[in-house]
Structures are given as C-alpha cells and as structure tokens.
Structure 1
Amino acid sequence: MFNILESVCAVSLNNSILSERLFKEIIVIDDGSSDNTAALVQQFASRHPEGKSISLLRLDRNYGKGRAIREGLKIASGDIIIIQDADLEYDPEENFPILLAPFFDKRQADVVYGSRFLAPASVRPIYFWHLLGNRFLTFLTNLCTGLILTDMETGYKVFRRSVVQELTPILKSDDFCIEPELTIKIAHRQWRIFEVPITYTSRTYEEGKKIGWRDGLKAIVTIIKCTVWDR
C-alpha cells in the first residue's frame, strides 16, 4: 500500500503539457480487507506532503471492484478523476501525465482510456486467454456502441467531474462488469472518449490476480443488457 501511495504522490503534474500546478486528492477504497490497509493509509496520510489530500473509505465487506469504484466516484471532488488500481500493474508515475494530456491540450476530452494495445504502449506480459477475452469483449462493445476502442477492459479510465456526476447514480455493477457498464453508458451519452497508450505489467494469479473466465461471461451479459436497456 505504501508503494502505490508513494507512487501516486510522486507524480509531477507540473510539466510542459500540464502547465498549471494541480492539486491532488487521493481517495483509497478499502473493499472489506482483513489486513492492515486502513492503518497503513492513516499512517501515510499523517505525514503526507502539502498540496495533497489523502482519505480512506472503508466498506463493510468485500463487494468487488465495481462497488469500490462506484463508492469512490461518489465522494471524489476533483475536476478530473482517475481510477487507479492498487496493485501497481499500472504505474501512475509513467502514465498519469499521458492520461491527463487530452484534457489540457485543446482536444477537450470528456473521458480518457489508457490502452495497453495502442502503440507505442509497453506491455509485459499478459496471459494469452486474457488477451483473447479482452479483444473479444472490446470488439463486442465496439459493435454495440459504434466506438473504436482497443482496450475496453483497461483499468485506467479518467473522467471529467461532469461525467462522473451524471454516471454515478446510474451505475449498478459491483464486480468486474463495471468496465463494460461504464463504457456503454458513456457511449450512449455521446461523451468524447480518447485513448492513449500506457505502460502495463501484468500480475500472475500467484501474485493475486483475480479475474477469470466467469467474469468474461458476465461481461458479455452486461454488454447485451446495457445495450438493450440503457437508452
């Protein structure tokens, strides 16, 4: 936990693209963990540097990634909101400036996805079946929405606050189905989505990776349901 907090805090948001210094609000969602995550976050927050706000939201049990994202979006107060997984498969120091650029360089993005498959992205390595499943789910989502995404399942999704305010009340998924649900509901509301290439280092199941084939089947059902009923 210290590693991810240190990494997020270390990101420089004052470079040639992001000309103005930005305030960082960091919200950690503890999805019913049984370890000392909460204590570590509180310890870290007690000595955080000026210009950064670090807060902790503890859920009463382990609901899943979707619920953690939904609860985090409800309380986020920033103008631009980034979803960051805590396992460091996605490196914030390398990727945050890339993800934020489309909001500041006159491209006027509403939503930005970080793609692991958009050159010159750096990816190390992904399970073959995960790659195949991701490509299929992305294709199906594109087919149902008219989008041309390369990585619908990416963990890096970035939003303007106005998008989050409209999306949050209508999101329902508690698990990994949050990814297709978010994407389809964004597409239906015709917000401008940009993709940028990111770096990514996949974890193994031994290291704690959880997503499996059942999640893929549930994602297909979610894509169909959201396409038909979310209008």
Structure 2
Amino acid sequence: MVKFDTLSIVIPVYNEARTIHQILDLLRGLQLVNNISKEIILVDDCSTDNSADVIQAYAIRYPELRLRLLHHTVNQGKGAALHTGIREATGDYVIVQDADLEYDPEEYNLLFKPILRGFADVVYGSRFMGGNPHRILFFWHSIGNQLLTFLSNMVTDLNLTDMETCYKLFRRDLVQGLQLEEKRFGFEPEVTVKVARIPGVRIYEVGISYYGRTYAEGKKIGWRDGFRAIFCIFKYGLFKS
C-alpha cells in the first residue's frame, strides 16, 4: 500500500461567483481515504465578476480549509490558470477540478485506488466507462470527444476512453516536470501527450460520474477549442516540444 499525505486540488476560476461556493462546500465536507489532507489552490484568471471576493470571503469564513487564491492580472485562459496552480502545488499528488458542478469531488477516492495500491503514477477519470451517472446532453459533443480521444491515442499509443476529462490526477513531481505551453483548452491533449512520453510512467483510468452543463448553464468550451485540440494533438504528438 502506497501512502501519501496531501492532495493539491487546482481550480481554474473565470466568472464563477454564482457557483464557486457550492464546489468549495463539497470540498470542505469531503473526507479523503487514509486521512489525506487537502490543499486547495484557486487561480482567478482575471474574472470580470466578483469571483475573487466570494472566494476571499469563503477563505476567511473557513480558515481550516487551506485555501489559496492566486490571481492573473490579464485573462490568459484555463490552461494558463492550470499552469499557475500546478507550479504552486506542494502536495504529493495534484488533481484538476473545474469550478462548476460537472464533476463530483467525492470520486477522488475512486481515482486514488490504483495510486494507493502501487499501480499508477497518473489516473484519468473517464466519463465514458463504468456505471456511474452521466447526464445526457449533446450528441455532437460526444462524437467530438471520441474523435479527440481517438486521435490522441493514435499519437500516444495509449488506449484512453476520455482524454478530454477534467479529472486528471498526477504525481506532483511528474506534472511539475513538464514544459506546458497551451493556455486554453489545449491543455488536455498537450499534457496527455507529454505525460505519455515520460519513461516508465504508469497511467490508469477509472470510471466517474458526469453532471454536464449546457451553454445556458455556463459551459464555456466551443467548437474552436475542438479544432485547437486537434492541432495540439498533432503538434505535440508528432513533434517534440
């Protein structure tokens, strides 16, 4: 059994004032296995609403939460926010958590299983495997996700079912050792390609739930990001960068 003490949870934030307290409530009540502690790093990517004020008020109200708020003075994109959060993480492992309510933090413990049993260095949470709840939304989004995962698997020689998932759990030294460049949603294919190149890395995938949002509910990713993801797959997959 592998033991580790602290999980760093990196949350990119852009105009999430309406729901950010809900995800923080979930994280505050979350009990991790083996008494693993939580370091929560929020990166405000120059929000135009009062996200930062809401987060600061929450941190004052719940000081025991080990909540750290970092700021970008210019909006740079989700990937750039993740770069900042990953760079500042101090836990043994790092996980990405969106600020919305599409993913359930209770399922961190599912992702831990192959880590704690000594099998994995990196674990992806797949929305497309297992019997967990999955909100039914957009047909063409699902086709797009399958295409991006297929193309990513072609260049990495992995057999992932969900490359685009938010829930990616990394051993901190591995992810901090990557030279990451993509500042928007290209983070997902870039980090997958670069992790796959690490000699001897052990990558696992476990099934998770997915409570997806519609665009009316605040979903931000669009078709342009899909084309950028294809570009990134081939840029980083075929040419070392």
Output the TM-score relative to the length of structure 1.
0.92
Cα pair 1:11 1:96 within 8 Å, conserved: no
**Residue deviations 1:158-205 (CA, integer Å, cap 9, x gap):** 1111112211xx100001000000000011114211101101111001
Look up the SS of the partner of 2:170 in the other structure: strand
Q: Confirm or deny that 1:40 pairs with 2:59.
A: no
**Residue deviations 1:13-45 (CA, integer Å, cap 9, x gap):** 1xxxx3x21121001111110111111111111
1:152-163 correspondence runs (5 A)? 152-163=163-174
Counterpart-to-counterpart distance in 2, 1:185 and 1:76: 19
Which structure 2 segments of 5+ residues have no match?
1-19
Cα pair 2:126 2:205 within 8 Å, conserved: yes
Cα pair 2:127 2:207 within 8 Å, conserved: yes
**Residue deviations 1:112-151 (CA, integer Å, cap 9, x gap):** 1000001223210231111000000100111111100000
Counterpart-to-counterpart distance in 2, 1:213 and 1:43: 35
Q: Confirm or deny that 1:12 pairs with 2:22.
A: no
1:132 to 132, 143, 150: 143
Report the counterpart of residue 181 of structure 1 in structure 2: 190
Cα pair 2:94 2:172 within 8 Å, conserved: yes
Cα pair 2:123 2:170 within 8 Å, conserved: yes
Cα pair 2:80 2:184 within 8 Å, conserved: yes
Look up the SS of the partner of 2:103 in the other structure: coil
Output the TM-score relative to the length of structure 2.
0.88
1:57 to 34, 54, 70: 70
Cα pair 1:115 1:121 within 8 Å, conserved: no
Report the counterpart of residue 160 of structure 2 in structure 1: 149
Identity of aligned residues (%): 49
Look up the SS of the partner of 1:126 in the other structure: coil
Report the counterpart of residue 66 of structure 1 in structure 2: 79
Report the counterpart of residue 217 of structure 2 in structure 1: 207
**Residue deviations 1:49-102 (CA, integer Å, cap 9, x gap):** 63x310101111221111111111010110011100001100112x11112222
**Residue deviations 1:198-230 (CA, integer Å, cap 9, x gap):** 011110011111211111111111111101222
Counterpart-to-counterpart distance in 2, 1:200 and 1:219: 21
Q: Confirm or deny that 1:164 pairs with 2:175.
A: yes
Counterpart-to-counterpart distance in 2, 1:61 and 1:90: 27
Counterpart-to-counterpart distance in 2, 1:126 and 1:58: 33
Q: Confirm or deny that 1:121 pairs with 2:132.
A: yes
Q: Which moved more, 1:23-32 or 1:40-49?
A: 40-49
Look up the SS of the partner of 1:35 in the other structure: coil
Counterpart-to-counterpart distance in 2, 1:7 and 1:43: 16
Counterpart of 1:194, as a letter, is: Y
C-alpha RMSD of matched pairs (Å): 1.3
Dislocated runs of 4+, deviation >3 Å: none
Which structure 1 segments of 5+ residues have no match?
none
